[in-house]
Structure 1
């Protein structure tokens, strides 16, 4: 795990031309079963505009637990949680919410049902971003199908700028990951920043969590924020069993052509 100070990731801002730099964080929080204080410190240090959460609370009083976590992290709940079987989207107050939808994917007997948390967000007057938060199946054949469902839903959302973030349960050479990366840009492969591997949090060996950009989104940097000022190795190990992925993305204003 890197310990260098990573203070070069672009900060959130809205440009004079209406485009926006947006920080997106993807994080499997293991149903808040670990050190929530450490988790909150990591999230706050990342200063995200959007947080795509996997394994959000899903059972007794889940809304209360999700709201408490969001509030502690300086964020608001937008959509997802139990209604999407785990994926959840939180945002800072900077984001305007255009629309949201939670989608349940087909159920396979004997396997945990999966879902998608989706939202269209606006930054500044006209920079719009379609967001899908996902947590794909442990079964190889099923997650490949779910990757296709993610791409189908993204196309249905009809936005020119998009991001998919989540726990893919698949490495870059896996079929599901490759299916997504064939149509979207893998953030780490496009503009690596910070660390690479995300699982397990203690001694990470695999990159199974990712932020992928679509359409007019420009990836300015993406990776595990180990070493980012305020993010300590102790907190990353204590917060949950995955490491987070943080990306800085440039979203064009409506009518502007993105960098691709």
Structure 2
């Protein structure tokens, strides 16, 4: 088992060579059915440049709900929401947006529709693709969606990419392993903080993850613990998942 680092997670910055250190957060917010203010406080305490949200509101006035969460979190909406069947991307004003695309995956009758929220952004001298996902509860569909995810990352045609979301499977599962065979599992590459994301009251499994393409340096990744402004009460009140926070160094794209 990987031993988590105890050093503070690096702050966001642009390096003299144009590379960018960024903080990214993956968070299943359960359609904001719990404590929205607590979720916003958790996000703010993590000081992310990008938030990969799962289970964003999808129905009545969903854009208003997404915009309100972004404002409370001191961020802006980048892409996704109902148009991606739940995945959402938030970002800070540090990012320059090149383009966004919401992707709906094939619908299996009787199962929940799934999709990806994607974007290509520049930050410092780095160009990077982003993809927020929430894979199926059904094993065969989940495995197929993992393949579609990898195809989508390839189609983004970017030098580097970050994928994050609720995989609905532990690292030993075949869909998780399919992703980790092509992408860096950031917890494995740079364990930091806590490992288990489900559930906040009884953390016992890692089903949420951040992945990055080869060449991205993982400076630390895990469930944030002990950050200023981050309380155990907020983590338990916000939603039924714990967030995953990573600091990554993205090389300059030239």
Please say whether Structure 1 and Structure 2 have the same fold, judged by a TM-score greater than 0.5. Answer: yes
Show CA shifts across 1:63-112 (max 9, x none).
Answer: 00100110110000010000000000000000111111000001000000
Partner of 2:58: 58
Tell me how far apart the structure 2 counterparts of residues 81 and 99 of structure 1 sit (CA, whole Å).
16
Partner of 2:3: none
Give unpaired runs (5+ residues) of structure 1: 1-5, 256-260
Partner of 2:47: 47
> Aligned with 1:182: secondary structure?
helix
Tell me how far apart the structure 1 counterparts of residues 184 and 231 of structure 2 sit (CA, whole Å).
29
Contact 2:52 2:165 in 1 (8 A): yes
Contact 2:184 2:214 in 1 (8 A): no
Tell me how far apart the structure 1 counterparts of residues 180 and 133 of structure 2 sit (CA, whole Å).
15
Tell me how far apart the structure 1 counterparts of residues 247 and 96 of structure 2 sit (CA, whole Å).
18
Is residue 189 of structure 2 the alignment partner of residue 178 of structure 1? Answer: no
With the length of structure 1 as denominator, give the TM-score of the two structures: 0.94
Tell me how far apart the structure 2 counterparts of residues 231 and 175 of structure 1 sit (CA, whole Å).
34
Count the aligned residue pairs: 251
Partner of 2:251: 252
Alpha-carbon distance, 1:235 to partner: 0.6
Contact 1:46 1:246 in 2 (8 A): yes
Is residue 92 of structure 2 the alignment partner of residue 92 of structure 1? Answer: yes
Partner of 2:112: 112
Partner of 1:241: 240
Runs of 4+ in 1 over 3 A off after TM superposition: none
With the length of structure 2 as denominator, give the TM-score of the two structures: 0.97
Tell me how far apart the structure 2 counterparts of residues 192 and 26 of structure 1 sit (CA, whole Å).
15
Partner of 1:258: none
Show CA shifts across 1:106-147 (max 9, x none).
Answer: 1000000100000011102x2111111000000011100000
Give unpaired runs (5+ residues) of structure 2: 1-5
